[in-house]
Amino acid sequence: MTRTDPLDVPRPDAQLHLGVFFQGVNHWTIWSDPASGSQIDPASFRKVARTAERGLFDAFFLGEGLRLREVDGRIHDLDVAGRPDAITQLAALAAVTDRIGLVSTSNTTFNEAPDLARRLSGLDLLSEGRAGWNVVTTDNAWTGENFRRGGYLDHADRYTRAEEFLTVARALWDGWKDGAASGSPGASTWAAPGAVRRVRHRGAQFDVDLAPTLPRSAQGHPVIFQAGDSGEGREFAARNADVIFSAHGSDFDDALAFADDVRRRLLSAGRPEDDLRILPGTEIIIGATEEEALEKKRWIRLQQVTPATALGIAGLLWNRDLSDRDADGPLPKEDPVVAENDGSFGARRIADPYTVVAEWREKAEAGGWSLRETVIALGPQRGHVGTPAGLADRFTHWVRHGAVDGFNVTPYLIPDGLDDIVDLLVPELQERGVYRTEYTGTTLREHLGLREPLTHRSTTDGRRAG
Amino acid sequence: MSGPALRLAVELDGDGAHPAAWRRAAHSPDHLLTPRRVARVAAAAENAGFTLLTLDDGVLPPGSVPDTVGRIGAVERAAFIAASTSVAGVAPVVPLTYAEPFHVSSQLASLDHISVGRAGWVVGEETQPEAARAWGRPLVEGAAARASESRDGVAAVRALWDSWEDDAVVRSVATSRYLDRDRLHYVDFTGDTFTVKGPAIVPRPPQGQVVVLGHPDLVPAEQLDVALVAGRGLAAVATAAAGAGTPRVFAEIEVALDTAHATAEERVADLEQHAPWTDRGRLRHVGSAAGLAALLERLRGVVDGVRLHPLVLDEDLPELSRLVLPHLFERRHAVRPSAGATLRTHLGLERPANRYATAAVPAGEVTR
Ligand SMILES: Cc1cc2nc3c(=O)[nH]c(=O)nc-3n(C[C@H](O)[C@H](O)[C@H](O)COP(=O)(O)O)c2cc1C
């Protein structure tokens, strides 16, 4: 890391926040190794959550996907798949953890606002203020085939619905005055008269009228996370979110540019520029030496990108079935086929495959790489590799220069993939004064150092009121 | 009357079965919605020896207007309880009148994974028109339309539980396949008002199918594992049980017991000053523990089990635990669940075969 004069460091006191993303569906979680445990056994979830809590992490995250992935109309069978409903799983984890935040990725398109808001409130109460909600939007008709409404939402409307969804959810969360439920056993009414307000909302997406059934938790509202990278997604986050779960966490300049963009949008939305935490998803690979870490990375990539996975990824790029090719041989000679966007979340199509294939060919030739080696070398360069001390220096630099507020780590092994981060990296971070040595709060909002929920702020302090 | 030993279930929502139960609770209202309270009640019921804990729910606030009482969603409470208990089955009430069958299927399958095979589901109904506005969905009007939603919903949920065969996760390093896609199935469910493609996103529940309980007038008998039957007297219960047509039948019994401080009658009268104890046409025992034990003994051979609805949990659960259940267990009139078994096992129900399972390949014909 570059030694800098402390006075040049924009955020000398900034603290690093860590979350763990139990992703559930992807090819980054290695399933083939004997050390890889069950992806559905409750013991796996308990183990990861408790390890993260031992490491004083802010949060434990679960992802969501509402249809099994497909490629060319067939269920994708190479990667980990099959996971529990997030809020249900997190409510169970609330019983076996004490401090860690519990964040559910939950869709605004295929849920009803009053129902999801109530489920999140329940999680928030059962965890005494540790709930978070990662708001995701999915519009595709392909996912919609599992739901009553089907694929009814236009792409342009998905953030409109998300925003109205959040408005309704917040109204419900604010429906009870604090201290509404009586604190004395002999009370004459269960809740103070007039303490519960009906919520009546009539809009393009929701037409509801109900009395909320739940008080606010210790943290006021569940913490709002946003994961989405488009301009609309960032605007939505700047207006509404407490945390952005971004994909900009591997390259410093890219991360800083993203963070600056978000901070600008925050100011435009009338919020202080430190009102939002930026936690990119990442992978962390640790070795005792740099060489050992790189060797481990090579082993991990080979487990993640098996020959079949390499052919699958190349098949998406070429838009041809390449499953009968030799992944350890050269790149396919044929030209790619330009795919129509079929709106399916099962397979992501590449808009301009010619350019990408040309680049792959050129680099593979120069490096003497097989197809599989090319996929590994030129696929997304995710994450951080190094020694505990080296990584701690790097992360200290990143957080103090405002590129990130922390990371949301995806372990490549379940359930033990966090152990070396907790046992080796965390102490180095603590030594540098960039990471907590004990939990100082009990709620997720406190862990993240967030202000009170947006709808609770007064208009006089320059912030937005709800 | 004699017959096989009874299985005992207890309903644990709120502070008890009476709408004003909170007035006699041993805690102030603001403790009702705390994790400590939820865990404590569940632990007391599990320790007492109940085989199944049920949790009522609905989108409208419980209690009688205008006296609002708060309530955490039953699925969330059930998951929390599943993680803090080890033996008892846990069954949330989940109505299908407005809910998404796909989500309900995922939630209940997840509950079964979390509890390692102890999940049940009491199929509920949203009967009030206000529930539609509370959900933000078009009104499902009338008993017939609600019954249709329940019927189709349960059928879709059950199909989704089978949409993964038990061994769909193959982790075959040799072929690089995590899943065997031939053991995953599109359910392609078509009901009167909705369709569901499938497969589920949650692997098949440990019990194969979560135990489904419900009232036979709301859910077709062939969709139920356990019918919950009412009736104000033994004869009515016996008639309902005989006609249920389900693998198991439980009688619904509302219970108020004498305590050291007040008789059951006095306790009921106290709460009746505030609200009536809604008559749902169920058996009701108001009196001594010995009287309840005698009533339960007479139900052996008539039903397979009972679901008790205690007037006030903080008062009646200790009496049930101290006087009623031990008496029944000692005489083998009822059985305690044993550690490590599934709820199906406790109820003597088979683990169902998967409707989609491909015929087993005969030995000797296994191809490589
Ligand atoms: C780091 C990250 C994690 C995400 N996790 C999920 C997820 O678990 N489930 C999901 O449906 N979408 C997930 N998304 C997708 C986003 O919610 C969003 O749909 C997608 O990024 C496209 O939105 P955009 O057009 O605003 O970029 C994730 C996105 C990012 C950047």
For the stretch B247-272, pLDDT in tens is 999 999 999 999 999 999 999 999 99
**Residue A280 beta carbon below 6 angstroms from any ligand 1 atom:** no
* A83 inside 8 A of chain B by CB: yes
Q: Which residues pair with A406 in a beta bridge?
A: A17
Record: contact B136-A214, CB cut-off 8 A: no
Question: In this model, does residue B240 exceed pLDDT 70?
Answer: yes
Mutating to test ligand 1, I would choose from A104, A109, A136 the residue with most ligand atoms within 8 A of its C-beta, which is: A136
Tens of pLDDT, residue by residue over B56-85, are 999 998 866 667 899 999 999 999 999 999
Record: contact A91-B199, CB cut-off 8 A: no
Contact in structure between A249 and A281 (CB atoms under 8 Å): yes
Q: Strand A101-107 relative to strand A207-210: parallel, antiparallel, unpaired?
A: unpaired
Q: What is the mean pLDDT of the segment spanning B279-296?
A: 97
Q: How far apart are CA A239 and CA A253, in angstroms?
A: 25
How far apart are the CA of A349 and the centre of ligand 1, in A? 16
Token pair 């299908």 is found at: B96
Contact in structure between A350 and A359 (CB atoms under 8 Å): no
Q: What integer pLDDT is reported at residue A465 of this predicted model?
A: 36
Which tokens in the block code for residue B84? 């803090």
How far apart are the CA of A133 and the centre of ligand 1, in A? 13
Residues of A within 8 A of B126 (CB-CB) are none
Phi, psi of A154 (to 5 degrees): -70, 150
Q: Count of CB atoms within 10 A of residue A191's CB?
A: 24
**Residue A229 beta carbon below 6 angstroms from any ligand 1 atom:** yes
Q: Which helix (H) or strand (E) holds A243?
A: strand A243-244
Q: Which helix (H) or strand (E) holds A20?
A: strand A17-22
Q: How far apart are CA B97 and CA B276, in angstroms?
A: 27
How far apart are the CA of A227 and the centre of ligand 1, in A? 5
Token pair 């509950």 is found at: B111
A430 exposed, middle or buried (CB, 10 Å; 0-12, 13-18, 19+)? middle
Token pair 């199909």 is found at: B159
| Nearest residue, CB atoms, B67 vs list A65, A80, A190 | A190
Contact in structure between A125 and A94 (CB atoms under 8 Å): no
Q: Count of CB atoms within 10 A of residue B24's CB?
A: 21
Tens of pLDDT, residue by residue over B346-366, are 999 999 999 999 754 444 444
DSSP H helices, A58-112, are: 86-96
Euclidean distance between the first and final Cα of chain A, in Å? Answer: 43
Please list the ranges in chain A whose pLDDT falls under 50: 1-2, 345, 460-466
Contacts of B277 (CB under 8 A, 6+ apart): B17, B18, B19, B254, B268, B271, B311
Q: Is A80 helix (H, G, I), strand (E, B) or coil?
A: strand
Planar angle of CA A54, A58, A60, nearest 5 degrees = 80
Contact in structure between A398 and A258 (CB atoms under 8 Å): no
Contact in structure between A103 and A134 (CB atoms under 8 Å): yes
Q: What integer pLDDT is reported at residue B144 of this predicted model?
A: 95
How far apart are the CA of B72 and the centre of ligand 1, in A? 29
Q: What integer pLDDT is reported at residue B148 of this predicted model?
A: 96
Residues of A within 8 A of B84 (CB-CB) are 95-96
Q: What is the mean pLDDT of the segment spanning B135-146?
A: 96
| Nearest residue, CB atoms, B201 vs list A65, A111, A147 | A65
Q: What integer pLDDT is reported at residue A146 of this predicted model?
A: 97
Q: What integer pLDDT is reported at residue A419 of this predicted model?
A: 97
What does the DSSP assignment read for A386-423?
E-HHHHHHHHHHHHHTTS-SEEEE--SSTTTTTHHIII
Which tokens in the block code for residue A161? 């619905």
Residues of B within 8 A of A209 (CB-CB) are 130, 133-134
* A215 inside 8 A of chain B by CB: yes
Record: contact B33-A309, CB cut-off 8 A: no
Q: Which residues pair with A285 in a beta bridge?
A: A385
- How would residue B123 be classed by pLDDT, with cut points 50, 70 and 90? very high
Q: How far apart are CA B212 and CA B225, in angstroms?
A: 5
Q: How many CA atoms are closer than 13 Å to the CA of A254, on its beta-carbon side?
A: 9
Task: Return the residue of A nearest to B175 by Cα.
Answer: A308
Q: What integer pLDDT is reported at residue B364 of this predicted model?
A: 44
Burial A432-444 (b: 16+ CB within 10 A, else e): bebbbeeeeebbb
Tell which A residues from 29 to 68 touch B, by Cβ distance under 8 Å.
31-32, 39-42, 65-68
| Nearest residue, CB atoms, A94 vs list B35, B69, B173 | B35
Which tokens in the block code for residue B288? 């001594």
Residues of B within 8 A of A119 (CB-CB) are 73, 75-76
Nearest CA to ligand 1 atom 2: A227
Closest-lying ligand 1 atom to the alpha carbon of residue A232:
26
Name which of B38, B40, B71, B80 to mutate to probe chain A: the one with the most chain A Cβ atoms within 10 A of its Cβ. Answer: B80
Q: Which residues pair with B24 in a beta bridge?
A: none
Beta strand spans in A44-180 (E): 59-62, 70-71, 74-75, 101-107, 131-136
Planar angle of CA A282, A284, A288, nearest 5 degrees = 170
Of B162, B23, B151, nearest to A185 (Cα)? B23
Count, residues in chain B? 368
Dihedral sign for Cα atoms in the order A366, A367, A370, A374: negative
Q: What integer pLDDT is reported at residue A161 of this predicted model?
A: 95
* A119 inside 8 A of chain B by CB: yes
Q: What integer pLDDT is reported at residue A344 of this predicted model?
A: 52
Q: What integer pLDDT is reported at residue A463 of this predicted model?
A: 42
Torsion of CA B75, B80, B81, B82, to 10 degrees: 90
Closest-lying ligand 1 atom to the alpha carbon of residue A408:
1
Q: What integer pLDDT is reported at residue B169 of this predicted model?
A: 97
Which tokens in the block code for residue A53? 């809590």
- Whole-model pTM: value is 0.96
* A308 inside 8 A of chain B by CB: yes
Q: What integer pLDDT is reported at residue B28 of this predicted model?
A: 95
Of A46, A81, A79, A75, nearest to A63 (Cα)? A81
Q: Strand A74-75 relative to strand A70-71: parallel, antiparallel, unpaired?
A: antiparallel
Q: What integer pLDDT is reported at residue A338 of this predicted model?
A: 81
Name residue A136's amino acid: V
Average pLDDT of every residue of chain B: 95
**Residue A155 beta carbon below 6 angstroms from any ligand 1 atom:** no
